[in-house]
Amino acid sequence: MSEPQGAEYAFGRHRPASHVLIHVSDPHFLAGGARLGGRYDVEANFGRTLDAIRAVHPHPAAIVITGDLADLGEPDAYRRLRDAVEPVADALDTTVVWVAGNHDERPALRAGLLDLSPTEEPVTGVWDLDGLRLIALDTSVPGWHHGDLDRAQLDWLADLLSEPAPHGTLLAMHHPPLPSHLPLFDILELRHQDELAEIVRGSDVRGILAGHLHYSSHGMFAGVPVSVASATCYTMNVALPAAEVNGMDAAQAFQLVHVHPDTITHAVVPVTDAYTGTYFSPEWLERMARLSPEQRLEAFSRKRGR
Q: What is the mean pLDDT of residues 31-58?
A: 97
Residue, of 72 and 6, whose pLDDT is higher:
72
Mean pLDDT (the chain) is: 94
- Spatial CA neighbour of 183 closest among 236, 224, 141, 105: 236
90 three-state secondary structure = helix
- Which amino acid would we find at residue 234? Y
Side-by-side strand order, sheet with 264-270: 95-99, 62-66, 19-24, 253-259, 264-270
Instruction: Read off the pLDDT band of 70 (50, 70, 90).
Output: very high
- Burial-class residue 188 by CB neighbours within 10 Å (0-12, 13-18, 19+): middle
Q: What is the mean pLDDT of residues 161-169?
A: 98
Q: What is the mean pLDDT of residues 137-143?
A: 97
At 293 the pLDDT is 84
Instruction: Read off the pLDDT band of 1 (50, 70, 90).
Output: very low
Q: What is the mean pLDDT of residues 19-32?
A: 98
| Predicted model pTM | 0.94
Of all residues in the chain, the percent with pLDDT exceeding 90 is 83
Q: For the segment 79-100, what is each residue's pLDDT rounded down to a tens digit?
A: 999 999 999 999 999 999 999 9
At 2 the pLDDT is 46
At 303 the pLDDT is 54
Of all residues in the chain, the percent with pLDDT exceeding 70 is 95
Instruction: Read off the pLDDT band of 302 (50, 70, 90).
Output: low
